Structure 1
């Protein structure tokens, strides 16, 4: 009995593709002073999905200390500011700065270049089906948590 080729396992392939997309995304975002880790936070704050460090950590499924470090870097780089939550003085509200609001559309465009490249030679139907498969995988993996 032969061993399965792990290089063809969906988890291996997804990880390899994710690494390459992140690498290319970092290259495209670097001129804007951004990193790929900043964008989910910026989008969540912009959309009103999260307002505090705890909210962001929960939403993005990262540990509080990791979120604190990332927010510290974003604050240092001028993309967020923190203000005391008037309803809970021990908590801080995260706000985007004007710089973040200005750079967000540029960041979307930069990352979209990577998506376009990745989906080259896919038909619109294939792309929609691929995205649907990825969403199903994500739901399956989160259902047992």
Structure 2
């Protein structure tokens, strides 16, 4: 059996890159008083306003209790709110509040700066080519269907 060269395995490269991007973003988001779980929750609710806590947990691939703690902290900070679900009295839907706007602006700025750092030395054509190739890999693996389900607004 041939040894696997982790530096050449696509999955390992993508995993390492993803981890590096998250760690750098985490470090900077911490200055805003946000944990990774909190900024990921914010990003998820921004893409899926009105999602239930269960849906947010599924999209983030964590347990409901785990995401519930993040939501509790964000509610305490006034950045998100829980609203009763009119169709299910046991459920609450999660919404961003207006107080989140400056935080979103700052997270967006941080993301843009981190992307700029990641693409240092790449010209516009190289960046476009990389995005296109990653898009093709995503499509080859069925990711477009997953993204469509995860990011579409809830029909309720």
Q: TM-score range by the shorter chain?
A: 0.7 to 0.9
- How many residues of Structure 1 are paired with residues of Structure 2 in the alignment? 145
Q: Tell me how far 1:15 sits from its aligned partner.
A: 1.3
Given the alignment of the two structures, is residue 98 of structure 1 paired with residue 98 of structure 2, yes or no?
A: yes
Q: 1:126 to 1:50 in 2, by over 3 A?
A: farther
SS of residue in 2 equivalent to 1:3? coil
Q: Tell me how far 1:69 sits from its aligned partner.
A: 3.2
Given the alignment of the two structures, is residue 22 of structure 1 paired with residue 54 of structure 2, yes or no?
A: no
- Structure 2: which 5+ residue stretches go unaligned? 147-156
SS of residue in 2 equivalent to 1:32? coil
Q: How much is the aligned-residue C-alpha RMSD, in angstroms?
A: 2.8
Alignment match, 1:89: 89
Q: 1:136 to 1:72 in 2, by over 3 A?
A: farther
Distance, in Å, in 2 between the alignment partners of 1:19 and 1:7 is 15
Given the alignment of the two structures, is residue 34 of structure 1 paired with residue 4 of structure 2, yes or no?
A: no
Q: Deviations over 1:53-108 (max 9, x none)?
A: 13323444444343323323333444212121223211102121333222101110
TM (norm. structure 2) is 0.74
Distance, in Å, in 2 between the alignment partners of 1:38 and 1:71 is 7
- Structure 1: which 5+ residue stretches go unaligned? none
Distance, in Å, in 2 between the alignment partners of 1:141 and 1:133 is 14
Contact 2:80–2:97 (Cα < 8 Å) also in 1 = yes
Distance, in Å, in 2 between the alignment partners of 1:61 and 1:50 is 18
Distance, in Å, in 1 between the alignment partners of 2:61 and 2:14 is 19
